[in-house]
A = this chain, B = another copy of it.
């Protein structure tokens, strides 16, 4: 994949740990928790302490290059690069299975918001209910 690497967010010094977090996220094919990110860094060049990972992620979120999400019911947050694409899931309230939804007729709602002077950096939709396996057994 030849996409331009994330522009480095201004105001943050370049450190091994921060670059490493970003590298992990760039390689990830799905959202990761802070713990998972920390784990994957261990095998890489520069491991980091968990609290550092949390701090780095928080800064990245504020800069808008990372998205923090939380999947229904899980108290643990997950993080992913903000690819400025839509990420939608249908989550089963029982077994927490996640079904991906690709398209999203949502964009039409956005101009209105931007008129209100809200600078949109991303969005996140969660649809919840029962998946086909859980609908019956109950």
Name A residues whose Cβ lies closer than 8 Å to a Cβ of B. Answer: 61-62, 64, 67-68, 70, 72-73, 75, 77, 90, 92-94, 99, 101, 103-106, 108-110, 112-113, 116-132, 135
Contacts and interface: CB of A to CB of B under 8 A. Distances in A.
Given A117-B131, A119-B130, A130-B119, A106 B93 contact: no
Overall SS of chain A's interface: mixed
- Pick the most buried of A121, A125, A128, A130: most chain B CB atoms within 10 A of its CB: A128
Given A77-B75, A104-B109, A118 B93 contact: no
Contacts of A62: 93-94
A119 B109 contact: no
Nearest to A117: B132
13 contacts: A68-B73, A70-B70, A93-B121, A99-B113, A104-B106, A105-B106, A106-B125, A110-B127, A113-B127, A119-B129, A120-B129, A121-B129, A121-B130
Contact of A123 (B61, B108, B123, B128): B128
